[in-house]
Amino acid sequence: MALIAPSILSANFANLERDFDLLNQSACDYIHIDVMDGHYVNNLTFGPPVISHLRPLTKKPFDVHLMIDRPERSLKAYKEAGADFLTVHTDATIHLHRTIQEIKEMGLKAGVALNPAQSPEEIRYILRDLDLVLLMSVNPGFGGQSFVPQVLDKIKELKDIRTQGNYSFKIEVDGGVKLDNAKEVLNAGADILVAGSAVFNAPDPLKRIQEFKDIQ
Ligand code: DX5
Ligand code: ZN
């Protein structure tokens, strides 16, 4: 069964508590939290103070996607705020291997994100250390963009690499995932689907999460 991580980027920032109530009632597996710094991406969202206020609202794991420059400077703050998964972009940190080790040494799950133009080849030598590889299926920065179809081949390639290397990381696909392409994304080899606008812009977000969970 697909693991579903609704992205609160499309939630109502003026009423996150209400949206967390909804997520608590849902069958979602993780809560995807998009941190944007206005540098690595143009958009700006929130950081550790907001996440730490969200933490008591739910028991669901926080899947924190850092779209920030030099994430190594603030890993500890995200751990203290309540992150369970911490995912960094390869091109935002100078010593990626060290950053991953630091995340793991703090006892968190470590993820690396690849943008649409990047190849899994770039992270070959750290794959054994990862709990998660996040494949961006839009360019990072905004919700509601269209799925980049070439990512389907990348998912398959990464899944083959995982099988050959006997690695254990999960494959997460983030951006433009909708009910009508989710099956294809899962068939290609994704384990976790991130869905922002598809969930929060749906007339009934709770029902929409269940529809994602029910995909066979
Ligand atoms: C984009 C973010 C995504 C975003 C996905 O930079 O990383 O998590 O919320 O939004 P949708 O599902 O609307 O494409
Ligand atoms: Zn994201």
Pairwise CA distance, residues 66 & 86, whole Å: 7
Say what the pLDDT of residue 81 is. 98
Catalytic residue among 19, 29, 34, 63: 34
Over residues 63-86, the pLDDT tens digits come to 999 999 999 999 999 999 999 999
Coil, helix or strand at residue 194: strand
- The answer to whether residues 154 and 160 touch, using CB atoms and an 8 Å cutoff, is no
Please state the domain extents for the chain.
Answer: 3-213
Say what the pLDDT of residue 76 is. 98
Say what the pLDDT of residue 1 is. 85
Show the ligand 1 pocket: residues with CB < 6 angstroms: 7, 9-10, 32, 34, 65, 138, 140-141, 143-145, 174-177, 194-198
Residues, Cβ < 5 Å to ion ligand 2: 34, 65, 174
Is 131 annotated in the active site? no
Over residues 121-137, the pLDDT tens digits come to 999 999 999 999 999 99
Say what the pLDDT of residue 89 is. 98
Q: Residue range 51-68: average pLDDT?
A: 98
Pairwise CA distance, residues 209 & 202, whole Å: 10
Q: Residue range 165-184: average pLDDT?
A: 98
Say what the pLDDT of residue 65 is. 99
Q: Residue range 96-113: average pLDDT?
A: 98
The pTM score is: 0.98
Task: Write out the CATH class of domain 3-213.
Answer: alpha beta
Q: Residue range 142-161: average pLDDT?
A: 98
Say what the pLDDT of residue 13 is. 97
Pairwise CA distance, residues 143 & 10, whole Å: 7
